[in-house]
């Protein structure tokens, strides 16, 4: 469905999302109109979802980031749904992922400092329903974060 030109457009755009269709046209050797049409086609096909700004939570004062790896009590048939619904209500949870593997769910939590984290952990996380086990990973540094696909 995608040809080499589509892939080249996506590769350049992925590397620098600030590029305009005119910039992209220069890079791949097409007219801006043709690039724009290809972009619209890829948007309509659901391949391109959008362009968003990256928010740096540390710059907003949330300097602590913890990954909580959670195992749920699966003897409860609706454990996943109830847990996820409650976890979505915790403001400091910025990401929820579910897995097939040793861990069922991972929550990404941000906090202003360790005191704040402790408060969220005790008050909002440990009270979430159907938790069987929790492991915490503390973020030290992001080495690579562009989330680029190998196109």
Binding site for other proteins (CB under 8 A): 2, 10, 13-14, 17-18, 45-57, 59-62, 67, 69, 88, 91-103, 106, 110, 135-151
Contact 79, 128 (CB under 8 A): no
Nearer to other proteins among residue 74 and residue 88 (C-beta): 88
Contact 107, 93 (CB under 8 A): yes
Nearer to other proteins among residue 48 and residue 76 (C-beta): 48
For residue 59, the minimal CB distance to other proteins (Å) is: 4
For residue 98, the minimal CB distance to other proteins (Å) is: 5
| 24's tokens | 């992209």
Nearer to other proteins among residue 2 and residue 82 (C-beta): 2
| Burial label, 34 (beta-carbon count in 10 A; 0-12, 13-18, 19+) | middle
Q: How far apart are the C-alpha atoms of 131 and 133, rounded to whole Å?
A: 6
Question: In DSSP terms, which residues pair with 10 in a beta bridge?
Answer: none
Angle, CA of 27, 51 and 17, to the nearest 5°: 30
For residue 151, the minimal CB distance to other proteins (Å) is: 7
For residue 76, the minimal CB distance to other proteins (Å) is: 18
Nearer to other proteins among residue 115 and residue 149 (C-beta): 149
């Amino acid at each position: 469905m995608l040809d080499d030109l589509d892939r080249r457009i996506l590769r350049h755009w992925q590397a620098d999302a600030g590029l305009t269709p005119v910039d992209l046209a220069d890079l791949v050797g097409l007219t801006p109109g043709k690039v724009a049409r290809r972009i619209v086609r890829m948007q309509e096909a659901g391949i391109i979802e959008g362009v968003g700004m990256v928010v740096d939570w540390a710059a907003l004062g949330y300097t602590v980031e913890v990954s909580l790896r959670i195992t749920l009590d699966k003897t409860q048939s609706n454990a996943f749904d109830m847990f996820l619904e409650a976890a979505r209500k915790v403001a400091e949870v910025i990401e929820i992922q579910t897995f097939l593997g040793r861990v069922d769910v991972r929550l990404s939590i941000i906090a202003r400092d360790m005191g704040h984290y402790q408060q969220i952990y005790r008050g909002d996380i440990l009270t979430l329903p159907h938790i069987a086990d929790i492991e915490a990973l503390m973020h030290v540094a992001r080495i690579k974060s562009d989330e680029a696909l190998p196109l």
